[in-house]
Amino acid sequence: MSPGLQLQDALLSAVSGAVRRASEALLSRQLPEGYWRAELTADTTLESDCILLELWLHPPQGGEWNPPTRERVGSAARSILARQLPDGGFNIYPRGPAEISASVKAYFALKVAGVAADDARMTRLRERILSLGGIQAANSYTKINLSLFNLFPREHVPSVPPEMMLAGNFIYEMSSWTRAIVIPLAIVQALNPGRPVPDGFTLQEIFLPGQSLAFARDAGMFTWRNAFVAADRFLKSWERRGWKGLRRKAIRAAEAWMLERFRQSDGLGAIYPPMMYAIMALDLLGYAPDHPVRVEAERQFAGLIAGQGDDFHFQPCFSPVWDTGIAMHALGEAGAAPREALRRAGDWLLAKEVRHRGDWSVKRPRLAPSGWYFEFANEFYPDIDDTAQVLLGLRHGQASDSARQQACQQRAVEWLLNMQSRDGGWAAFDADNNCEPLSCVPFADHNAMLDPTCPDITGRVMEALCTLGVPAGHAAIRRGAAYLVRTQEQDGSWYGRWGVNYIYGTFLALRGLRAAGHDDREAHILRAGEWLRSIQNADGGWGESCAGYESGTFVAAESTASQTAWAILGLLASGDVSSSSVVQGVEYLVGTQRAGGTWREELATGTGFPGVFYLTYHSYRNSFPLLALANFQKTRSGGERG
């Protein structure tokens, strides 16, 4: 046998062992009900907001918290301090620099928790905040939160008017998550006269002297931002002098909208910020602490707590449907999962199919409901990406009722096809949610006011549709492929909206194009493969920093298991099955696998709001390497790339 064949056999043998160990590790984490759920974590802003909510609901009396609140506030404060950077600030992704909004929120929360202003940690934090521009440089939501306690001037924070509820379908031009945030927040702003803070409590020490508090304006006669800043001045005048009857009607409409979306959901939107603002809104609307609606809202919010004591932290939401779809896909490709395990997963997913018309139906009123959400229950908000991933997982698992599964998959395919936007791409929750002027409103600096189409979701949807039998010649697939070719970056990569970043977008775009029948000798495919090879790290892996969202370009980082897996999957989809880059990437994954079949990963590779909020999916580091190694194994063994 030649040395080359011996090397190939040795690599395939190593891959086979790694696939087996990874499959066993993943199967061991399946819960009895059939699903997978790993932790989903973020930055200290969640714990900071937890302390803010405790101050809202249970302010200290005579300088003393009640015992349960004292314990929770203390745990949250310790969790925050454990992640303080050497320069005193707080970041929004691991290994990232200090960020002003996270640092301001932490300062407020720690001071509320009783950390002394002359504590060395607070001194360093205060100095870092001032070096970053002071509280004036924080984002609008940070300022709004502080204004609720009269700690930032109300006249210098954006108005969120409940009257928007009376403006037809205006609220549905915002992204679903923005909608879920600002509607309860509008109630809070309208009804809150200013919550009390401990006597003498102030944040004046982190205001940068000489720095204006006013909204920044663009140069020039007319811009959308300047128009919205002017509109904000009108809204503030309206709040003082406007028709009170109209405001009461708007608040009632906002309340009704919010209450309706509590049904069949684990909290409003089943995500952290709306759930927090919803509790505040219920409080101001007069729902007593023992009212069933408020009790349930607070219970769902408290359920996001993971760990206690020194390990206390909040999750932004739960991710069981997403984790299960990816796990089923990876295990199915590996061919190592018992049929019974995949059957239980399939049964669980079928029970989670959406059969209710949600917010998406405003733009698609005649479309029959289907699809899947991200969390345990979020019936109003199925998302397109989850639906595609679940379909990719279900094709590997035969549920107990095959006829039901077939009907469910057909409904989901039809739903996906009809959720395509006019530009040919797919977004996360809505179709044609791209009214660009709204990105200029004063409270749009969370960088996610809209839900436009993106290459990563488009690629995954195309792969799912083609896998489920939609022909490559179908008009939706042709339009999706044209969208991907049109949105390719000059360097050959694709932007990744929901994963970090260009590696994620590129791997999914390539898989979508391969499923659509694009030849691996076409220029856009060749350019993408060359780009992936060009950014490989010296250790054979791939890594990318969240900083790329700020610079608009790829920013290299240390190799991670998930991003290495994405790059390998992208290269395989591009037709590269044997280059040294692919081999070295596979060797990196095999070599970094731990004895128990898992991988270590410390960087955030998930994206919430680009430049503002990032996510660490603790499932990614194990599911995606398994998928990549299984695909490599099948390809080198002469099987079809899956």
CATH topology of domain 158-200+222-314: Glycosyltransferase (1.50.10)
385 tagged catalytic: yes
pLDDT for the residue 642: 58
**Those residues with Cβ within 8 angstroms of residue 93's Cβ, 6 or more apart along the chain or in another chain:** 43, 546, 603, 604, 614
Query: Which residues is 305 bridged to in the sheet?
Result: 314
Residue 423 has, within 13 A of its CA and on its CB side, a CA count of 17
List 323, 359, 385, 576, catalytic entry: 385
pLDDT score at 412: 98
Q: Is residue 326 a contact partner of residue 618, using CB atoms and an 8 Å limit? A: no
Pairing of strands 40-41, 613-617: antiparallel
The per-residue pLDDT for 3 is 46
CA distance 165 to 249: 9
Of 3.40.50.1980, 3.20.20.70, 3.40.50.300, 1.50.10.20, the CATH number of 10-41+317-419+454-636 is: 1.50.10.20
H helices, E strands: number in the chain:
23, 7
Integer-rounded Cα radius of gyration of the chain: 25
Is residue 428 within 8 A of residue 374, CB to CB? The reply is: no
Cα separation, 541 vs 523, whole angstroms: 25
User: Per residue in 331-358, is it b (16+ CB within 10 Å) or e — as a string?
Assistant: bbbbebbeeebbbbbbbbbbebbbeeeb
Query: What's the CA gap between 232 and 215, in Å, rounded?
Result: 10
Tokens of 512: 């979508």
CA distance 124 to 348: 49
Structure tokens at 67: 């015992």
List C-alpha distances in Å: 600 to 241, 308, 313, 323, 382: 58, 23, 20, 17, 31
> Which single residue is written with the structure tokens 């077939």?
406
Our measurement of the distance from residue 260's CA atom to the centroid of its chain's CA atoms, rounded to an integer in Å, reads 24
User: Which pLDDT score is estimated for 148?
Assistant: 96
One-letter identity of residue 143: K
Residue type for 379, please?
A: E
| Chain length of the chain | 642
Residue pair 381/321 in contact (Cβ under 8 Å)? The answer is no
Where, residue-wise, is CATH 1.50.10.20 in the chain? 10-41+317-419+454-636, 43-157, 158-200+222-314
The low-confidence residues of the chain, meaning pLDDT below 50, are 1-3
Select from 257, 229, 57, 68 the least CA-distant residue to 162: 257
Residue 609 has a pLDDT of 93
Only one residue has tokens 């997963």, namely 345
CATH number of this structure's domain 43-157: 1.50.10.20
The dihedral built from the CA positions of residue 486, 549, 159 and 273, taken in this order, carries a sign that is positive
DSSP code at position 154:
G
Helix (H) or strand (E) holding 158: none
Collapsing DSSP to helix, strand or coil, 46 comes out as helix
What angle is formed at CA 612 by the lines to CA 160 and CA 55, rounded to 5 degrees? Answer: 60
